[in-house]
Structure formats: C-alpha cells, structure tokens
Structure 1
C-alpha cells in the first residue's frame, strides 16, 4: 500500500473549490485516465478509468463528506484505494486543496508505475489540472452538493 499526498493552491474561495470537487461527473475534464464517473446516489459512484491502455471499472463509496472541509472515499471492488480531499482557507480568495490517497497497485504495470513515481506525478498533474479547470472558469463551479456524510461508526 502506497500513500500519495499532493496539494495545490487555487485562486477561488473554499466553498467554490469544495463545490466543484463534489461534481464527480466532471472529473474526466481534469483527471488523466478517468473516462467516466456516474454518481448513483448520495454516497456511491461508478468509475471507468483507463490505466496503461486497459479499461477498468469499479465502484467507490463516499465514507465522509463535510461542506468546505473534506470528502473521503474508499473503493468497493477493483483496484484497492481510499483517500481524502481536504480544503483549507488560505485567505478570502485562495484555498489549499490537499489529496491524500492510499493505493494498493495491482499487476506488474501498476507496481512499476508506483515504484517509479508515475502515480505521484499523475496525482500532482490531476491537482494542477483541477486548479486550471476551476480558475479558468472564473471561479464558477459546475454545480454543488452541500450534504453531510458522517464517518461510519467504528465497531
């Protein structure tokens, strides 16, 4: 299991950055390799990604979500991964968006990509493309979901 952490400062308010991040179906516009995401309900998404020329599909569950603070998820099947995106106010017009992702690479290609830093660079590129996407829109998000999802109780 590898942990990847990347941050980017975006020139938008915390609410704008958070609102855009809740629009999962827009991810293919700034995430490399993401072909399609469908949000099936408030806490479930279906992903179609292309990794090293191979199409993979998997489901993920949003495990925690609090407006203007964080969105956390875990995969339900397929490539094992989980993560959290946090939003930190730098000033009235700047937000630091931080991604912390844990991934368990599957197969030779993904393990090589992990060991050689390709996955780290991919996440860094996705964060930079998110910055460009929201800033190029003049700070106008494509939508928003402001609901709360509480962390599951520990047993």
Structure 2
C-alpha cells in the first residue's frame, strides 16, 4: 500500500469546512472525475467516476470521527482505497484540511488506467492536490 498526505488551508471556519466536506453529494463540484455522488443514512456513498474514457461505479463507507473533525472512508470492493479528511482550526476563520489516501498502485492503475511506478505516484499526488485546491475555491466562494 502507498500512502499520500496533502493539506490545504482554507479561509473559512471549521464548521463551514466540515459541512462542505460532509456533503458527498457536492463532490462533483470539486473532485475531478466525480460525475455523480449520493449517500444513504447508513454511512454509505455511491460515486460515479469518469477516468479517461471509462466510467466506474464506486461504493464506499464513511464514518465521522470525534468532534466533527475527521471523516474516515474506505471503498467497498475494487479498487481498494481508504483515507480520511482531518480538519484543524488555525484560527476563528481559517481551517487546515488534511487529506490522507491509502491505495495499492497496481489496483489503481488496473481500475483507472494511467502510468506505472513513479509517474503514477506523481499523477495521484497531482489529482489529490488539485482536488484540495478545487475544494478551497468551492468552500471559500460560499457554496
């Protein structure tokens, strides 16, 4: 398994960042490739993800950590992915959003395509970094 951790500081209070992250239905607005997402009351999510010229359906389970500051998730089935979003208040109006992703590079490549080895690690890092920047714009624009 490979692990990637990235963060972004956003100019909103922790509660606003939490509310925005917690609404999986809005992920298509800031996560590249997510075309549709919905949740049920039992902590499960279904995402339709477009990667290259393929669309994949991915099911995941998620759970809230203590104090509405950690959202943990893992996929059900292939690809096996797990991760979390952790929120840290920097001050009254600023929050650090930490994303952690654990993945098997071969499974990700087989499922979504793309390069192997070091190039793949760079591609995954770029995607996560871009998604965090998109989240920053999304949440700071008050959506």
CA distance in 2, matches of 1:79, 1:108: 6
DSSP-derived class of the 1:112 partner: coil
Unaligned runs of 5+ in 1: 142-155
CA distance in 2, matches of 1:82, 1:40: 19
CA distance in 1, matches of 2:116, 2:34: 17
TM superposition outliers: structure 1 runs of 4+ over 6 Å: none
Q: Looking at both structures, which has the greater relative contact order when contacts are Cα pairs under 8 Å and sequence separation is at least 6?
A: 1
Partner of 1:31: 31
Q: TM-score with structure 2 length normalisation? A: 0.88
Matches within 5 A, 1:135-154: 135-137=140-142
Deviation at 1:34, TM superposition (A): 0.6
CA contact (8 A) 2:6 2:128 kept: yes
Answer with 35-44 or 4-13: which moved more.
Answer: 35-44
Q: Count how many residue pairs are aligned between Structure 1 and Structure 2.
A: 138
Partner of 1:77: 77
Q: TM-score with structure 1 length normalisation? A: 0.82
CA contact (8 A) 2:109 2:116 kept: no
CA distance in 1, matches of 2:34, 2:9: 22
> By percentage of residues, which structure has more helix?
2
DSSP-derived class of the 2:132 partner: helix
Q: Deviations over 1:80-129 (max 9, x none)?
A: 10001000011111000000011122418646266311111000000000
Partner of 1:9: 9
